[in-house]
């Protein structure tokens, strides 16, 4: 049984915890403190507001610990705001954790497409078309040499992996698919 943490400071963490509870061989853990973060085998950074989550990471002292655990090889999956937290580069802004070699654009789809959903086959993540939910989503403008592109939608990168770091600009916790969870759990 592996313990899978979800950073539970702000955003859609309870939806991730509910999805994890439906998977076998997984112990879901709401991560709020350093002690929580020390004990998990994997971590999900949820969607929400990246600036707010970043501020809370600083205030709780979790930011430095999380960077250390990433360096030590902790598998981390960032969804939407979580992807923004992982990125080394954010267009027009300072990075937060800055651990993944990607350049992201926040709120990339603009106000007219603030939120939308669709289905798209992303072969790297599963054999069936995936339901994709975008909520004021970022996209990835550039990936580094060590980063593998896992999916694109309408000409923009929406999923990528660098070693044990996974980033998706969409919200699998709001769908009935567990394909991306399965992918993350075998990283
Ligand atoms: N727009 C948010 C941000 O920039 C991310 C939105 C989300 O996580 N659904 O932080």
How do residues 92-131 score in pLDDT, each as one tens digit? 999 999 999 999 999 999 876 789 999 999 999 999 999 9
In tens, the pLDDT along 13-23 reads: 999 999 999 99
Q: Which atom of ligand 1 is nearest to the CA of 137?
A: 6
In tens, the pLDDT along 152-174 reads: 999 999 999 999 999 999 999 99
pLDDT of residue 89: 98
pLDDT of residue 84: 98
Q: 2-185 — its CATH code?
A: 3.40.50.880
Q: Is 50 annotated as a binding residue?
A: yes
pLDDT of residue 111: 74
Residue 64 bears catalytic tag = no
Cα of 125 from ligand 1 centre, angstroms: 22
Instruction: State pTM to two decimals.
Output: 0.97
Domain ranges (residues) in the chain: 2-185
Concatenating the DSSP letter of every residue in 13-80 gives HHHHHHHHHTSTTEEEEEE-SHHHHHH-SEEEE-SS-HHHHHHHHHHTTHHHHHHHHHHTT--EEEET
Residues 6+ positions from 110 with CB-CB distance below 8 Å: none
Angle, CA of 167, 171 and 176, to the nearest 5°: 125
Residue 71: is its pLDDT beyond 90? yes
Residue 87: is its pLDDT beyond 90? yes
Residue with tokens 């669709």: 118
Q: Which of 15, 16, 96, 171 is catalytic?
A: 171
Of the pLDDT bands very low, low, confident and very high (cuts 50, 70, 90), residue 34 is very high
Task: Give the pocket of ligand 1 (CB within 6 Å).
Answer: 47-50, 80-81, 84, 106-107, 135-136
Please state, rounded to an integer, the average pLDDT across all residues of the chain. 96
Residue 118 bears catalytic tag = no
- Whose C-alpha lies nearest to ligand 1, atom 2? 49
Nearest to 118 by CA among 77, 153, 159: 153
Q: Is 106 annotated as a binding residue?
A: yes
Q: Is 136 annotated as a binding residue?
A: yes
């Amino acid at each position: 049984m592996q313990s899978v943490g979800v950073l539970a400071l702000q955003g859609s963490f309870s939806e991730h915890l509910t999805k994890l509870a439906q998977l076998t061989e997984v112990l879901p853990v709401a991560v709020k403190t350093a002690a929580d973060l020390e004990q998990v085998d994997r971590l999900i950074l949820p969607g929400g507001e990246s600036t707010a989550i970043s501020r809370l990471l600083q205030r709780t002292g979790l930011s430095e610990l999380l960077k250390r655990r990433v360096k030590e090889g902790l598998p981390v999956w960032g969804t939407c705001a979580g992807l923004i937290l992982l990125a080394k580069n954010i267009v027009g802004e300072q990075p937060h954790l800055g651990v993944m070699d990607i350049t992201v654009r926040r709120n990339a789809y603009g106000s007219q497409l603030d939120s939308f959903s669709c289905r798209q086959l992303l072969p790297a993540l599963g054999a069936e078309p995936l339901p994709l939910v975008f909520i004021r989503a970022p996209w990835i403008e550039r990936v580094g040499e060590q980063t593998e592109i896992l999916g694109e939608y309408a000409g923009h990168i929406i999923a990528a992996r660098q070693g044990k770091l996974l980033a998706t600009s969409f919200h699998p916790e709001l769908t009935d698919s567990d394909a991306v969870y399965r992918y993350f759990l075998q990283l």
